[in-house]
Amino acid sequence: MHPSDPLKNILYVDLTEKEFWVEEKPELFQNYLGGTGVAIKLLLEECPQGCDPLSKDNPIILAVGPLTGLYPFASKTVAMFKSPHTGNLGESHCGGRNAIALRMAGYGAVVIKGASETPIYLAIHGDKVYFRDASALWGMQNSFTVGRIIRENEPNAGFRSIMRIGGAGEKLVSYACVTSETYRHFGRLGLGAVFGSKKLKAIVISGRRSLPIKDKREYCRLYDEIYHKAIESEVMKKYHDLGTAENIMPLNKLGALPTRNLLYSQLEDAEGISGETLASQYLGRRLACSHCPIGCIHIAALREPYEDEAYFYKTTMISYDYELIYSLGSMLGVSNAHDLLRLIDKVETYAMDAMSAGVTLAWATEAQRQGLISERETNGLKLEWGEAEEYIKAIDLIIKQPNEFYQALARGVEYASTKYGGGEYALSFGGNEMPGYHTGPAAHIGFLIGARHSHLDNAGYSIDQKTLIEKQLSPEELVEKLIEEESWRQILSSLVVCFFARGVYQPRVVEETLRVTGFNIDDPKKLGREILEEKYRFKTREGFNLRNLSIPKRILETSSAIGEIDGEYIRRSIEYAEETLIGVKG
Ligand code: SF4
């Protein structure tokens, strides 16, 4: 690391005392790079064992990495916290402008401790930190409006990022997210609720520093190589053209698209919500995170007539991608793009995780159909597949929480099914709702053993797709592959680069970027494994136990892309993962 590199600086903010200070920790970054690697070390240090995730003791850690602001795709910030949704590791990555703003403000990481008694937002402009009164913003449920107001009141347009919560975070919905630059999110595991519990409505961060480079010639050569590899690659073209929404039709064809709470793995009229339909009928613009030459963010323009005036239309810009289409579309039996976009907009307005919201509503629909809950619980709603209007009202009620049922839905599907039954079709994996891949056992084992219980941890779904052509792996071989992939991803998320660029950031390129940025890591793969084990150390410290994981029966009942899934195969895989990751022999 160059001696004047601001990456070594950690900004500590105490919301209780309204104090801040900076500590230099160059060795922490030299040893763990940044992002995930640094954040997990800080979380282990700052989060008291067993603390209530919604108490002032739970810290929020934001971290960027050595490539941030220097190389293409190094566009993400890692957030770590104790998750109010699962009770263990909370980790979420977000693009937009926040990563660059944070590093240009002069920091590699920010640690936010304590809680304010009154609503505030933090404004970090370079070395100045302000605790602004947010009383007028508190109660404002619409995360877009919050962003708009802060934009008017803060300096440094173009160099700043505004991360904020909506109604879900204020109401402590355990899967509330934090929205950044309107269309990007710290989506999963409830960072929004942690903001809400601290009465922290938003963080604005800006900076205008520049970054030192020792060998400019080598830096430019490597930059060009990465840039050209990316813009000339077919995979990146796909992300730009249709985005991840392109996956709807192929996954549906394979029988891997979870539909109606995974009663089915194909949606009969999937075309209506396909990437092709959305792009040809609704695409309004594409956006990119800072320092990204691809721009995979697809924004639909939804035009709706005003009720009381003829020929007057309201146009709403709504970002969409595969996961939102799956969770609020096929999972709820919604196959009409107009309805789907209205549902996405509702969830985005309140700033809640779309996957958790959709999967929870899918369970509620089945529970109502089976008579486990009635209209008494649902406040008169009749949840039914494809009925977007009822789902929109249900989302409003998850925020209002008028009774115990909606309070339960606000804590996700695992909690709600424990209270009302229907656990066999509650699609929860380690407490987190299912991502949209019913490709085969590897996807589900990946969700179960992944440190975040996310498809992004280890991409088991791509192993399933290879299994379609190659032989099925033994449980041990499969787990080894998943752990190897997840370990390598710890390096990418410590650098911090967008996972969509993982094909470009191969080990040789990573090693070269580290050399150019002044990092000396002997064995990045070994470091990746160490970081993953540190994440598991936090999870087990907070009570997570692979042995206690429940496998939703539904995934064994509905045929996947590669046929029926064997529960015994999953159990053996989990046992092996426990031996390998935690060293517990079966
Ligand atoms: S590929 Fe998409 S998510 Fe990744 S950095 Fe670019 S715009 Fe952001």
With 70 as the cut, is the pLDDT of residue 484 above it? yes
- Tens of pLDDT, residue by residue over 65-118, are 999 999 999 999 999 999 999 999 999 999 999 999 999 999 999 999 999 999
73 CA distance to ligand 1 middle (Å):
7
288 lines ligand 1 (CB under 6 A): yes
The 3-state DSSP class for residue 585 equals coil
For residues 462-483, average pLDDT: 88
With 60 as the cut, is the pLDDT of residue 586 above it? no
322 lines ligand 1 (CB under 6 A): no
Task: Count up the domains in the chain and report the number.
Answer: 3
482 lines ligand 1 (CB under 6 A): no
239 lines ligand 1 (CB under 6 A): yes
Q: Are 284 and 300 in contact (CB under 8 A)?
A: yes
Could you give the strand order of the β-sheet that contains 19-24, starting from the edge strand earlier in sequence?
Answer: 19-24, 9-14, 109-113, 60-63, 77-82, 89-94
Domain boundary among 159, 191, 206: 206
Whose C-alpha lies nearest to ligand 1, atom 2?
296
- Tens of pLDDT, residue by residue over 501-552, are 999 999 999 999 999 999 989 999 999 999 999 999 999 999 999 999 999 9
Considering the domain architecture, whether residues 416 and 437 belong to the same structural domain is answered as no
498 lines ligand 1 (CB under 6 A): yes
CA–CA dist 65, 205 (Å, integer)? 16
471 pLDDT band, cuts 50/70/90, is confident
- Tens of pLDDT, residue by residue over 498-511, are 999 999 999 999 99
Considering the domain architecture, whether residues 150 and 271 belong to the same structural domain is answered as no
Burial class (CB in 10 A: 0-12, 13-18, 19+), 213: middle
Index of the ligand 1 atom closest to the CA of residue 288: 7
In a domain, 126, yes or no: yes
- Domain that includes residue 576, residue range: 432-582
In a domain, 425, yes or no: no
Considering the domain architecture, whether residues 348 and 202 belong to the same structural domain is answered as no
76 CA distance to ligand 1 middle (Å):
9
Q: Are 352 and 177 in contact (CB under 8 A)?
A: yes
177 lines ligand 1 (CB under 6 A): no
285 CA distance to ligand 1 middle (Å):
14
- Tens of pLDDT, residue by residue over 135-170, are 999 999 999 999 999 999 999 998 999 999 999 999
- Tens of pLDDT, residue by residue over 277-327, are 999 999 999 999 999 999 999 999 999 998 888 888 999 999 999 999 999
In a domain, 1, yes or no: no
pLDDT of residue 306: 87
In a domain, 426, yes or no: no
State how far the alpha carbon of 571 is from the alpha carbons of 262, 475, 481, 499, in Å. Answer: 21, 9, 17, 29
Considering the domain architecture, whether residues 274 and 152 belong to the same structural domain is answered as no
Whose C-alpha lies nearest to ligand 1, atom 4?
498
Q: Give me the CATH number covering residue 535.
A: 1.10.599.10
99 CA distance to ligand 1 middle (Å):
12
With 60 as the cut, is the pLDDT of residue 462 above it? yes
Mutating to test ligand 1, I would choose from 240, 323, 500, 502 the residue with most ligand atoms within 8 A of its C-beta, which is: 500
295 lines ligand 1 (CB under 6 A): yes
CA–CA dist 454, 447 (Å, integer)? 5
Mutating to test ligand 1, I would choose from 68, 71, 75 the residue with most ligand atoms within 8 A of its C-beta, which is: 75
289 CA distance to ligand 1 middle (Å):
6
585 pLDDT band, cuts 50/70/90, is low
161 CA distance to ligand 1 middle (Å):
16
Q: Give me the CATH number covering residue 47.
A: 3.60.9.10
Mutating to test ligand 1, I would choose from 67, 68, 71, 73 the residue with most ligand atoms within 8 A of its C-beta, which is: 73
294 lines ligand 1 (CB under 6 A): yes
- Alpha helix locations (H) across 82-129? 98-104
26 lines ligand 1 (CB under 6 A): no
427 CA distance to ligand 1 middle (Å):
28
pLDDT of residue 468: 66
75 CA distance to ligand 1 middle (Å):
7
Considering the domain architecture, whether residues 138 and 271 belong to the same structural domain is answered as no
Query: φ and ψ at 268, to 5 degrees?
Result: -60, -35
297 CA distance to ligand 1 middle (Å):
7
292 lines ligand 1 (CB under 6 A): yes
Considering the domain architecture, whether residues 456 and 407 belong to the same structural domain is answered as no
Among candidates 189, 185, 296, which has minimal Cα distance to 247? Answer: 296
In a domain, 400, yes or no: yes
Domain boundary among 420, 448, 477: 420
> Which residues have C-beta within 8 Å of that of residue 247, sequence separation ≥ 6?
275, 322
Index of the ligand 1 atom closest to the CA of residue 73: 5
Strands 77-82 and 60-63: antiparallel
In a domain, 99, yes or no: yes
Considering the domain architecture, whether residues 190 and 318 belong to the same structural domain is answered as no
500 lines ligand 1 (CB under 6 A): yes
289 lines ligand 1 (CB under 6 A): yes
Index of the ligand 1 atom closest to the CA of residue 95: 8
262 lines ligand 1 (CB under 6 A): no
Q: Is the pTM here over 0.95, yes or no?
A: yes
In a domain, 227, yes or no: no
Q: Give me the CATH number covering residue 353.
A: 1.10.569.10
Arithmetic mean of pLDDT over the chain: 96
CA–CA dist 204, 184 (Å, integer)? 15
296 CA distance to ligand 1 middle (Å):
5
